[in-house]
Amino acid sequence: MKATQTDLFEPAPDLPEGFRYRDDLISAEEERGLVERLTGLPFAPFEFHGYLGKRRVVSFGWHYDFSKEAIRRAESIPTFLLPLRNRAAAFAGVDPAGLQHILVTEYAAGAGIGWHRDKAVFEEVVGVSLLSPCVLRLRRQAGTGLKRASLTLEPRSAYLLAGPARTEWEHSVPAVDSLRYSVTFRNLRAR
């Protein structure tokens, strides 16, 4: 596992408690196979309270409906995503079967995602980045200002948001330079 620092002599980014990162969760060959399958998924523009985002998404297992602020059943998880879910779960130290929500996001050049915290119905969040790198920015309130951190998510890498990184910090991705896919796995919070 590659460290989260950019150079051996630079300090690691000041990342929040509960955040973990790993380069090369999967091989380049596995990535090519996944992307080939992802391109055939029934993507739709991301919709948020009547607005359409530049990114396109498809959910499996569960879908969060922002207009109703509720979670509902979605199509079953495709079998081709199960090996990736197993790898993501092993990295995060969670039960693969518990990762019941999968969101696949297609970011065309120029698409990003604004500051947000995942909805409270979800617990841990495990993301896998494919095709091109992007910057993951993190921030939280600290006194009268903001504490910030960021790092580059490389292709085939994974990150985990758990604990304070998940509940106290917001995250965003600025517009990407070239096509990128993100496969995000979430488990549901116990009711």
- The pLDDT of residue 191 is 63
Residues 6+ apart with CB under 8 A from 42: 58
Contact criterion met (CB below 8 Å) for 183 and 127: yes
Superfamily of segment(s) 19-188: Alpha-ketoglutarate-dependent dioxygenase AlkB-like (2.60.120.590)
pLDDT value of residue 28? 98
Reported pTM: 0.89
Q: Where in the chain are the domains?
A: 19-188
Check whether 57 has a pLDDT greater than 90. yes
Tens digits of residue pLDDT in 68-115: 677 889 999 999 999 999 999 999 999 999 999 999 999 999 999 999
Determine contact, residues 186/122, Cβ cutoff 8 Å: yes
Please report where in the chains the tokens 């309270």 appear, as a residue: 49
Mean pLDDT of 62-66: 77
Residue 3 in this model has a pLDDT that exceeds 50: no
Our separate counts of H helices and E strands in the chain read 3, 13
**In this predicted model, what pLDDT tens digit does every residue of 108-161 receive, in sequence order?**
999 999 999 888 788 999 999 999 999 999 999 988 999 999 999 999 999 999
Is residue 11 pLDDT above 50, yes or no? no
Q: Which two tokens stand for residue 80?
A: 């081709």
Q: What is the pLDDT of residue 118?
A: 84
Residue with tokens 């990407």: 176
Partners of residue 130 on adjacent β-strands: 181
- Both structure tokens of 135: 């910057």
Q: Are 123 and 189 in contact (CB under 8 A)?
A: yes
Over residues 17-39, mean pLDDT: 97
Residue written as token pair 């992307």: 35
**Tell me, what DSSP letter sits at residue 11?**
P
Q: Is the pLDDT of residue 48 over 60?
A: yes
The pLDDT score that the predictor gives to residue 62 is: 85
116, with CB counted inside 10 A (0-12, 13-18, 19+), is exposed
Query: Which two structure tokens, joined as six digits, stand for 64?
Result: 């969060």
